[in-house]
């Protein structure tokens, strides 16, 4: 009898449900260990936000986990200036000794911490606690200040609460009119376009406001290609027209808002002819935009960084909210205002205490009751909690003996590339007596570091993130981290012990930190107290506020009331003002910045991924054909772009999609290609957001001596 054939069973790989490490869309993905220690990644069809789609950054995200340049041992700068591998004990002892010495010589405010919108909620929470309780410094802020601060400030002042989108992304598909203001989401978070296309397929209209004819604008029913820095004038002008044409919702204004009379008086000067002169948007286009927004049952205005990253960004957000409130749209189905958060945990990162003025759950560090609650939970005297510290740019501008901050700990942020007027910030970093950088890779900031600590990456740790909708999601661990790296939570715990305050920082795992975060937020505006890892896992994410274990979460806000004691939203009179720096005879062009779909933020990660670098290998300056002819440059030439702060060489890319008076470049590169060497650090007076999106430059072909 012949032997029976061997039956080979192909065992499918075990896939872990987790989320992309990059932007705030936080696409659900399924990750499994594949051959040779690599990870395979595919989009999660079941996750209700991306519904089986991802962008090229997500699909290639696993490449960094096994990247040969990944750090797997601490590095300590030696007297000869070189970085050398050392043990974890040596590195942490060095940091603690220098922190204690700086504190003794110069006081607690001589130290600062800088966090990131890439950190999980647990890390953001523990970093905030570490700064206030272990370093005892007021100075902690994060790179989300460069991203979401204006939208947050505007929403807090108008609605009493800041949640990027007060509704799920699925509502986009149901809006009759969608206005995307200064967001090129077709490039920055491509899977969101499935909701926009669905909206259009149902007969909806799309308006895009952008100085460039972006990939997003090319899909639009109406594109308003305004002059950079004039968004506030245009929004006020649309409100003027709405009042003049009787398109405001008087009943809604009376029932649900306050402050309209003062606002009405303030927009009287924003007549359509003036708006056309200031913004370049014709009266006819203004009328068409207003008609599309106002004469439908449901309309939605979503803003991106274009109008927000200005020295009047928070007022501009308020003008958007004024408009949508006056039209009676906020809190109605498939309608209202929202902002499209940028960084992966840009939402959660601003809720849990790594912002200079905040304690966890959006508590205020200047509110006595909030301070007392947190001091009790953290086991310290309320009087020992420091007050409000400096905002991100102001903190970095204070580095060195003159500014008083002599030691800085940076977690997951590449401030040397991401900050405005970056040349100045690099000089400040060089003056530090202690710079510690916790990251997976060396970058332009760690080039100045005394110590670099190698940390775990997204697939090797767990933690919660809060996506652009306010949905709290769970990143699950896929595999063990390599030998030699630690989680940021472990780093903070071990440093706290060495600084003599270890008891409040010893947690078994990320979930244990989350349990303390839940307690810290109970009863606060961003209330996470009813959440748990299990609940998040089972529900594919839960929207905050979620104040009890039985509570299902809150997908939609404002249907009945706003977050003020009287329940009414607040109008704000916000007259237009020009950008801090406008073109003149010496610097005759506008310069503005943005993203490529292949790269993320400072590019420290994505510039290391082969497919992404192949697709976008260099920083190109987008220039109109007429301007290119004037400057005698062709595609592929080098162009030297100069502002009052520095000069940058870009590769020329000629396109009719940009205005002839404006140059655009991405901010994903460092060194001599860093767009932020040019940008202006003029700050919004409320949000402290720098004016990344508008400055004045001149351009020419570089000469031999340049």
Residues forming the site for ligand SF4 (CB under 6 A): 20, 22-23, 25-27, 50, 54-55, 57-58, 189-191
Select 349 or 360, whichever has its Cβ closest to ligand SF4: 349
ω into 545 cis (within 30 of 0): yes
> Cβ 443 to ligand SF4, closest distance in Å?
19
Q: What are phi and psi of 386, to 5 degrees?
A: -65, 170
698 touches 589 (CB < 8 A): yes
> Cβ 689 to ligand SF4, closest distance in Å?
22
What's the rounded Cα separation, in Å, for the pair 297 and 293?
A: 9
> Cβ 521 to ligand SF4, closest distance in Å?
25
> Cβ 414 to ligand SF4, closest distance in Å?
17
Q: Which tokens belong to 599?
A: 């790269």
> Cβ 43 to ligand SF4, closest distance in Å?
8
Q: What are phi and psi of 418, to 5 degrees?
A: -85, -15
Select 144 or 328, whichever has its Cβ closest to ligand SF4: 144
Q: At what angle do helices 272-279 and 283-294 cross, to 10 degrees?
A: 110
Within 8 A by CB and 6+ apart from 366, the residues are: 357, 387, 388
> Cβ 25 to ligand SF4, closest distance in Å?
4
Select 46 or 366, whichever has its Cβ closest to ligand SF4: 46
What's the rounded Cα separation, in Å, for the pair 29 and 23?
A: 13
Select 52 or 403, whichever has its Cβ closest to ligand SF4: 52
> Cβ 49 to ligand SF4, closest distance in Å?
9
> Cβ 82 to ligand SF4, closest distance in Å?
35
- What is the residue-wise DSSP string for 564-575? STT--EE-----
Shortest-Cβ-distance residue relative to ligand SF4: 58
> Cβ 23 to ligand SF4, closest distance in Å?
3
> Cβ 26 to ligand SF4, closest distance in Å?
5
Within 8 A by CB and 6+ apart from 478, the residues are: 16, 18, 31, 32, 33, 39, 459, 460
What's the rounded Cα separation, in Å, for the pair 257 and 409?
A: 43
Select 92 or 468, whichever has its Cβ closest to ligand SF4: 468
Within 8 A by CB and 6+ apart from 6, the residues are: none
Select 61 or 103, whichever has its Cβ closest to ligand SF4: 61
Per-position b or e across 570-607, b if 16+ CB within 10 A of its CB: bbbbbebeebbbebeeebebbbbbbbbbbbbbbbbbbb
Select 59 or 533, whichever has its Cβ closest to ligand SF4: 59
Sign of CA dihedral 469, 523, 150, 291: positive
Select 229 or 412, whichever has its Cβ closest to ligand SF4: 412
Residue with tokens 């990344």: 692
Residue whose C-alpha is closest to residue 154's, from 40, 3, 312: 312
What's the rounded Cα separation, in Å, for the pair 273 and 264?
A: 18
153 touches 314 (CB < 8 A): yes
> Cβ 118 to ligand SF4, closest distance in Å?
12
Select 415 or 473, whichever has its Cβ closest to ligand SF4: 473
Residue with tokens 């959006």: 362
What's the rounded Cα separation, in Å, for the pair 439 and 413?
A: 8
> Cβ 219 to ligand SF4, closest distance in Å?
17
Within 8 A by CB and 6+ apart from 201, the residues are: none
Question: Is 433 strand, coil or helix?
Answer: coil
Select 54 or 161, whichever has its Cβ closest to ligand SF4: 54
> Cβ 246 to ligand SF4, closest distance in Å?
41
Select 185 or 317, whichever has its Cβ closest to ligand SF4: 185
Residues recorded for the chain: 706
Select 23 or 294, whichever has its Cβ closest to ligand SF4: 23
Within 8 A by CB and 6+ apart from 656, the residues are: 213, 624, 625
Select 51 or 556, whichever has its Cβ closest to ligand SF4: 51
> Cβ 20 to ligand SF4, closest distance in Å?
3
Q: Where are the alpha helices (DSSP H) in 403-473?
A: 415-418, 422-429
Select 20 or 501, whichever has its Cβ closest to ligand SF4: 20
H helix or E strand, kind and range, residue 396 = helix 392-397
> Cβ 305 to ligand SF4, closest distance in Å?
15
Select 25 or 514, whichever has its Cβ closest to ligand SF4: 25
Q: What are phi and psi of 216, to 5 degrees?
A: -70, -45
What's the rounded Cα separation, in Å, for the pair 176 and 10?
A: 49
């Amino acid at each position: 009898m012949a032997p029976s054939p061997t039956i080979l069973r192909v065992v499918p790989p075990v896939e872990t449900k987790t989320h992309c490490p990059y932007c705030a869309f936080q696409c659900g993905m399924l990750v499994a260990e594949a051959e040779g220690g690599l990870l395979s990644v595919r989009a999660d069809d079941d996750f209700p936000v991306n519904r089986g789609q991802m962008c090229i950054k997500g699909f290639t995200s696993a490449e960094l986990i096994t990247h040969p340049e990944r750090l797997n041992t601490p590095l300590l700068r030696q007297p000869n200036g070189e970085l050398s591998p050392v043990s974890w004990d040596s590195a942490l002892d060095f940091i603690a000794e220098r922190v204690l010495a700086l504190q003794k010589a110069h006081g607690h405010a001589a130290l600062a911490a800088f966090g990131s919108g890439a950190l999980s909620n647990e890390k953001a929470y523990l970093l905030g606690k570490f700064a206030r309780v272990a370093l005892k410094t007021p100075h902690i802020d994060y790179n989300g200040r460069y991203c979401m601060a204006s939208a947050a400030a505007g929403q807090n002042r108008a609605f009493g609460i800041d949640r990027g989108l007060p509704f799920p992304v699925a509502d986009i598909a149901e809006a009759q009119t969608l206005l995307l203001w200064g967001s090129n989401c077709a490039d920055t978070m491509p899977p969101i376009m499935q909701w926009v296309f669905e909206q259009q397929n149902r007969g909806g209209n799309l308006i895009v406001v952008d100085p460039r004819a972006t990939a997003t604008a090319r899909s639009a029913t109406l594109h308003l290609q305004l002059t950079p820095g004039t968004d506030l004038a245009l929004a006020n002008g649309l409100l003027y027209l709405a009042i003049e044409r009787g398109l405001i919702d008087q009943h809604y204004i009376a029932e649900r808002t306050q402050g309209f009379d003062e606002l009405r008086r303030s927009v009287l000067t924003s007549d359509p002819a003036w708006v056309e002169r200031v913004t370049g948007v014709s009266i006819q286009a203004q009328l068409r935009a207003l008609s599309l927004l106002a004469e439908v049952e449901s309309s939605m205005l979503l803003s991106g960084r274009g109008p927000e990253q200005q020295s009047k960004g928070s007022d501009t957000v308020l003008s958007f909210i004024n408009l949508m409130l006056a039209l009676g749209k906020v809190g109605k189905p498939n309608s209202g205002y929202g902002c499209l958060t940028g960084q992966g945990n840009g939402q959660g990162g601003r809720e849990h205490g790594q912002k200079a003025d905040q304690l966890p759950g959006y508590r205020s560090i200047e509110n006595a009751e909030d301070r007392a609650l947190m001091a009790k939970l953290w086991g310290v005297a309320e009087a020992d909690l420091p007050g409000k510290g400096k905002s991100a740019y102001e903190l970095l501008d204070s580095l060195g003996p003159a500014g008083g901050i002599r030691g800085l700990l940076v977690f997951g942020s590449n401030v040397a590339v991401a900050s405005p007027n970056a040349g100045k910030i690099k000089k400040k970093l060089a003056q530090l007596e202690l710079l510690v950088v916790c990251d997976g890779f060396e970058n332009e900031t760690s080039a100045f570091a005394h110590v670099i600590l190698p940390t775990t990456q997204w697939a090797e740790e767990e933690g919660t993130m809060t996506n652009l909708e306010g949905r709290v999601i769970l990143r699950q661990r896929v595999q063990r981290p390599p030998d030699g790296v630690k989680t940021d939570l472990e780093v903070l715990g071990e440093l706290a012990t060495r600084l003599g305050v270890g008891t409040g920082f010893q947690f078994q795992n990320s979930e244990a930190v989350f349990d303390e975060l839940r307690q810290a937020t109970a009863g606060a505006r961003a209330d996470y107290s009813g959440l748990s890892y299990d609940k998040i896992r089972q529900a594919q994410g839960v929207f905050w506020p979620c104040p009890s274990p039985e509570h299902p979460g809150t997908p939609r806000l404002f249907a009945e009331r706003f977050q003020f004691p009287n329940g009414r939203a607040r109008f704000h009179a916000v007259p237009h003002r020009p950008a801090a720096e406008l073109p003149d005879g010496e610097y005759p062009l506008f310069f503005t910045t943005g993203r490529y779909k292949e790269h993320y933020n400072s590019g420290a990660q994505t510039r290391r991924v082969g497919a992404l670098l192949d697709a976008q290998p260099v920083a190109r300056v987008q220039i109109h054909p007429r301007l290119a002819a004037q400057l005698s440059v062709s595609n592929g030439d080098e162009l030297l772009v100069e502002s009052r702060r520095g000069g940058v060489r870009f590769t020329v890319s000629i396109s009719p999609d940009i205005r002839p008076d404006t140059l655009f470049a991405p901010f994903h590169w460092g060194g001599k290609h860093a767009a932020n060497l040019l940008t202006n650090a003029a700050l919004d007076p409320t949000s402290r957001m720098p004016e990344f999106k508008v400055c004045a430059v001149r351009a020419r072909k570089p000469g031999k001596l340049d």
